[in-house]
Structure 1
């Protein structure tokens, strides 16, 4: 579920989930869980909002600090 939320947030913010994920985890180029989550995402026009804070809280719950750091960088770029 965490990866699905992350992937949808990326799509909603015009980011490529695989590229963002690889910045946090460069050794996980063939992440099957991310691929499966991408199959469940919808175009941003059809998606509900995924707030920045919601994603960061979910990542924190799972101890995914590396990805949270990269997400925070992307948020600051806006």
Structure 2
């Protein structure tokens, strides 16, 4: 059981890092988008750490891939915010 929990936490951490990198590559504030999706939640310390460690353009994250990963972890609200931001950016270019 501990191994399952540990694996889930590791996978969740990867999801957070992917989100932070996608935001950095699209010049978006990951913490702001997260707060938009989950306004009742307190600060996400794992996300803050991922944002601090993220290098812009270190890894290109496809929007569709990010949306799939977010939905896989039940983050539909955050996936919706990402989808909306991606659409806004597409319209600008």
TM-score (norm 2): 0.76
Over aligned residues, Cα RMSD in angstroms?
1.1
- The structure with the largest helix share of the pair is 2
- Which residues of structure 2 form unaligned runs of 5+? 1-13
Matched, 1:36 2:44: no
User: Quick one: higher RCO (CA 8 Å, sep 6+), 1 or 2?
Assistant: 1
Matched, 1:76 2:87: yes
- 1:27-66 per-residue CA deviation (whole Å, 9 max, x = no partner) reads 234211111212331123xx12100011001001111101
Larger Rg: 2
Indicate the residue corresponding to 1:26 in structure 2: 39
The number of equivalent residue pairs is 76
- Which residues of structure 1 form unaligned runs of 5+? none
8 Å contact kept, 2:21–2:59: no
